[in-house]
């Protein structure tokens, strides 16, 4: 087992795939900042063409951020509570 903070110990462009369920609370407050930080880390660590599979609470609407940060993003599943997407690193 290892611990890390936002993939900081992994080299740039070293991963072909990452699976992420980003937290969205700081204490009891809903806050998207943690997810955006993790998306940035995934962008750094994913190799070009690598995939980020993300599950998130649907009301947070992360897809535009994923498109902008990672690359083309496809919705794989959605319910009123959760959304699953696959983003491909540019």
In the structure, what pLDDT confidence band is assigned to residue 16 with cuts at 50, 70 and 90? Answer: very high
In this predicted structure, what is the pLDDT of residue 84? 98
User: Which of 56, 63, 65 has its CA nearest to residue 25?
Assistant: 56
Q: Which residues contact 25 (CB under 8 A, 6 or more apart)?
A: 31
Name the pTM for this structure. 0.92
User: Which of 37, 46, 35 has its CA nearest to residue 11?
Assistant: 46
Cα 50 from Cα 48, distance rounded (Å): 5
Domain assignments of the chain as residue spans, ordered by start: 15-88
Q: Which residues contact 68 (CB under 8 A, 6 or more apart)?
A: none
Chain centroid offset of residue 39 CA: 4
- Tens digit of pLDDT for each residue in 33-80? 889 999 999 999 999 999 999 999 999 999 999 999 999 999 999 999
Just give the CATH number of 15-88: 3.40.50.150
């Amino acid at each position: 087992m290892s611990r890390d903070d936002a993939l900081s110990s992994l080299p740039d462009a070293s991963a072909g795939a990452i699976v992420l369920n980003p937290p969205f609370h700081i204490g009891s407050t809903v806050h998207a900042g943690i997810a955006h930080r993790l998306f940035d880390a995934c962008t750094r660590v994913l190799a070009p063409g690598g995939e980020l599979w993300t599950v998130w609470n649907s009301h947070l609407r992360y897809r535009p951020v994923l498109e902008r940060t990672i690359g083309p993003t496809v919705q794989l599943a959605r319910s009123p509570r959760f959304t699953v997407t696959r983003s491909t690193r540019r």
